[in-house]
């Protein structure tokens, strides 16, 4: 009998069997109706829903009284208060303030605005959008100043894009695995739908001189952070972002305007953008010559490292999101690449001895988060969970051993908070104990 187009694909017996060691199942195994509570779960876990006869439906108090007023701006439920960013400098002492995204408590591929990671070096400026201006000058025919109102008269463009700090995942440079949760290890990356004006339109408006090969972008907050960017990126997919997930930029994410360079290191995506100067050569500003130039083995330096390389990590389960009892679980995680689209994510439950291909949740978009999923039948024994991603340029995640051999690692113990390297995109490993506790490990 031919299957109708609107019918879900039914897994066959081969799909339900393990396709990799330690309980990984075929990615199509959860598409069939009733398969989860029946064939897959079996007697180990039993039905996930309790019978109506065994537990009659009662009327809770909230169904018997008038609820609260509707606020002008919707806030999360008080029962979701734990879904929050962690702050490294909550009282804002005179140093950088860092807020990390709780990936282990989120789903899908877009990060809510209030949970998007931020790094601000001198606090969050309260910029009056009516007075803020963007200057484009240097090697142009017509230097121009753009107000927010002026930018809103240009055609607006929307696209999803992740932003990742160059220092995200830096704890994995430590000689021994740091026992922290996913938020501490990988929380300096987020993904949003950004809306704004393509920088190429504004550059064309100014008339770029043929001698201009770079531009220097400068922020309007107190540090006036400046980074040099090749003009080719500015004419490609760079954007002056004004909106984030449909609403004006959050103050910590650059209100009223920021530079967005899809796929490129976070500190290049200058927030509170006030100036773009076209030049012939990189400016070698403090940030790019002193902060984001890292020593490597054999006396070399890692400089002008723009693109965030292909990466993935499992968000559920992960440290702090433990397993309750043996049975079927869905392994879920995030993959992304600064070069293009994710094409494949492989998952292992035995520390890389065998692998199974995960299902990718669409739409799969370039330089944005892609959610991957794979069913796993945990038998209650020890396991080591890993994910490894590939992009459409053929790039893939390195093992930690290969990465350390090229970039080096911290040679001091105990681990310190200041790491000498950036762009860590190694395979992340979670160890699952027989009790279901999940911890960070190296495998």
Q: Which H helix or E strand runs over 16?
A: helix 13-16
- pLDDT band of residue 371 (cuts 50, 70, 90) is very high
- pLDDT band of residue 290 (cuts 50, 70, 90) is confident
Q: What is the pLDDT of residue 29?
A: 75
Is it true that the peptide bond before 363 is cis, omega within 30 degrees of 0? yes
C-alpha span between 343 and 373 (Å, rounded) = 14
Q: What is the pLDDT of residue 14?
A: 52
Sign of the CA dihedral 80, 82, 83, 85?
A: positive
Backbone angles phi, psi at 401, to 5 degrees: -60, -45
Q: What is the pLDDT of residue 17?
A: 80
Does the pLDDT value for residue 419 go beyond 80? no
Q: What is the pLDDT of residue 285?
A: 87
| Average pLDDT rounded to a whole number, residues 413-431 | 72
Q: What is the pLDDT of residue 54?
A: 65
pLDDT digits (tens, 9 = 90+) for 146-174: 999 999 999 999 999 999 999 999 899 88
Q: How far is CA 179 from CA 349, 361, 384, 398, in A?
A: 20, 30, 15, 21
Q: What is the pLDDT of residue 53?
A: 61
Q: What is the DSSP string of 364-421?
A: P-TTS-EEEEEEEEE-SS-EEEEEEEEETTS-BPPPHHHHHHHH----SSS--S--S-
Task: Return the DSSP state at 43.
Answer: H
Which of 82-91, 109-118, 432-441 comes out lowest in average pLDDT? 82-91
Q: Kindly report the number of other CB atoms within 10 A of residue 198's CB atom.
A: 21
Does the pLDDT value for residue 65 go beyond 90? yes
Is it true that the peptide bond before 317 is cis, omega within 30 degrees of 0? yes
Q: What is the DSSP string of 186-223?
A: H-SEEEEEEEEEEHHHHHHHH-B-TT--EEEEEESSTT
Does the pLDDT value for residue 41 go beyond 70? no
C-alpha span between 41 and 330 (Å, rounded) = 12
The residue ranges of every structural domain in the chain are 133-302, 311-441
Strand 370-378 and strand 438-441: the pairing is unpaired
- pLDDT band of residue 76 (cuts 50, 70, 90) is very high
Which of 94-108, 208-222, 241-255, 328-342 comes out lowest in average pLDDT? 94-108
* Burial class of 358 by CB neighbour count within 10 A (0 to 12, 13 to 18, 19+): buried
- pLDDT band of residue 411 (cuts 50, 70, 90) is low
Which of 47-61, 153-167, 185-199 comes out lowest in average pLDDT? 47-61
- Report CA Rg, the chain: 24
Does the pLDDT value for residue 417 go beyond 60? no
Domain at 133-302: CATH code:
3.90.420.10
pLDDT digits (tens, 9 = 90+) for 294-326: 766 667 776 778 999 999 999 999 999 999 999
Does the pLDDT value for residue 410 go beyond 90? no
Q: What is the pLDDT of residue 151?
A: 98
Strand 133-138 and strand 144-147: the pairing is antiparallel
Does the pLDDT value for residue 415 go beyond 50? no
What are the beta bridge partners of residue 191? 162
How far from chain centre, in Å, is Cα 339? 14
Is it true that the peptide bond before 275 is cis, omega within 30 degrees of 0? no
- For the segment(s) 311-441, the CATH number from 1.10.443.10, 3.40.50.720, 2.60.40.650, 3.40.50.2300 is 2.60.40.650
Does the pLDDT value for residue 81 go beyond 90? yes
Which of 91-95, 317-321, 413-417 comes out lowest in average pLDDT? 413-417
C-alpha span between 59 and 55 (Å, rounded) = 13
Looking up tokens 């093992």 gives 399
| Average pLDDT rounded to a whole number, residues 114-122 | 95
- For residue 23, give the nearest of 435, 442, 432, 441 by alpha carbon: 432
- For residue 345, give the nearest of 330, 321, 361, 329 by alpha carbon: 361
Which of 31-35, 207-211, 431-435 comes out lowest in average pLDDT? 31-35
Does the pLDDT value for residue 4 go beyond 70? no
- For residue 268, give the nearest of 215, 196, 335, 209 by alpha carbon: 215
Q: What is the pLDDT of residue 15?
A: 54
Which of 42-51, 202-211, 249-258 comes out lowest in average pLDDT? 42-51
Backbone angles phi, psi at 119, to 5 degrees: -135, 120
| Average pLDDT rounded to a whole number, residues 363-378 | 97
> Where in 81-120 does DSSP place strands (E)?
86-87, 97-100, 118-120
- For residue 425, give the nearest of 262, 186, 263 by alpha carbon: 186
pLDDT digits (tens, 9 = 90+) for 388-405: 999 999 999 999 999 888
Higher-pLDDT residue of 167, 11: 167
As a whole-number percent, the residues of the chain with pLDDT over 70 amount to 85
Q: What is the pLDDT of residue 253?
A: 97
Q: What is the pLDDT of residue 190?
A: 98
- pLDDT band of residue 1 (cuts 50, 70, 90) is very low
- pLDDT band of residue 131 (cuts 50, 70, 90) is very high
């Amino acid at each position: 009998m031919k299957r109708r187009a609107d019918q879900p694909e039914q897994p066959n017996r081969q799909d339900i069997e393990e396709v990799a060691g330690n309980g990984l199942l075929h990615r199509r195994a959860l598409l069939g109706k009733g398969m989860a509570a029946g064939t897959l779960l079996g007697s180990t876990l039993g039905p996930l829903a309790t019978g109506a006869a065994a537990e009659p439906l009662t009327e809770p108090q909230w169904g018997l009284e008038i609820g609260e007023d509707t606020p002008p701006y919707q806030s999360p439920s008080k029962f979701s208060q734990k879904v929050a960013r962690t702050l490294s400098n909550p009282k804002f002492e005179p140093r950088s303030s860092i807020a990390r995204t709780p990936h282990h408590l989120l789903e899908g591929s877009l990060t809510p605005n209030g949970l998007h990671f931020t790094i601000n070096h001198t606090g969050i400026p309260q910029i009056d959008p009516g007075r803020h201006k963007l200057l484009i000058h240097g090697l142009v025919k017509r230097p121009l100043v753009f107000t927010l109102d002026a930018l809103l008269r240009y055609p607006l463009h929307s696209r999803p894009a992740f932003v990742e700090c160059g220092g995200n995942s830096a704890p994995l440079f430590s000689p021994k695995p740091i026992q922290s949760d996913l938020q501490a290890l990988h929380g300096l990356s987020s993904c949003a739908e950004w809306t704004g004006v393509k920088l190429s339109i504004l550059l064309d408006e100014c008339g770029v001189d043929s001698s201009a090969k770079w531009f220097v972008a400068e922020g309007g907050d107190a540090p006036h952070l400046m980074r040099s960017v090749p003009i080719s990126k500015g004419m490609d997919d760079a954007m002056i972002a004004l909106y984030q997930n449909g609403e004006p930029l959050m103050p910590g994410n650059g209100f009223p305007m920021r530079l967005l360079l899809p796929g490129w290191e976070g500190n290049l995506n200058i927030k509170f953008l006030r100036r773009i100067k076209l030049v012939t050569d990189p400016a070698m500003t403090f940030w790019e010559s002193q902060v984001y130039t890292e020593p490597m083995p054999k006396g070399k330096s890692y400089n002008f490292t723009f693109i965030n390389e292909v990466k993935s990590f499992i968000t559920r389960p992960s440290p702090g999101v433990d397993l309750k009892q043996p049975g079927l679980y869905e392994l879920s995680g995030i993959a992304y690449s600064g070069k293009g689209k994710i094409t494949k994510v492989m998952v292992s439950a035995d520390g890389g001895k065998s692998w199974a291909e995960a299902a990718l949740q669409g739409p799969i978009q370039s330089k944005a988060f892609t959610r991957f999923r794979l069913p796993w039948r945990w038998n209650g024994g020890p396991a080591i969970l890993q994910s490894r991603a590939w992009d459409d340029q053929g790039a893939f995640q390195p093992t930690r051993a290969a990465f350390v051999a090229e970039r080096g690692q911290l040679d001091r113990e105990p681990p310190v908070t200041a790491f000498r390297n950036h762009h860590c995109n190694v395979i992340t490993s979670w160890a699952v104990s027989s009790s279901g506790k999940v911890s960070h490990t190296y495998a």
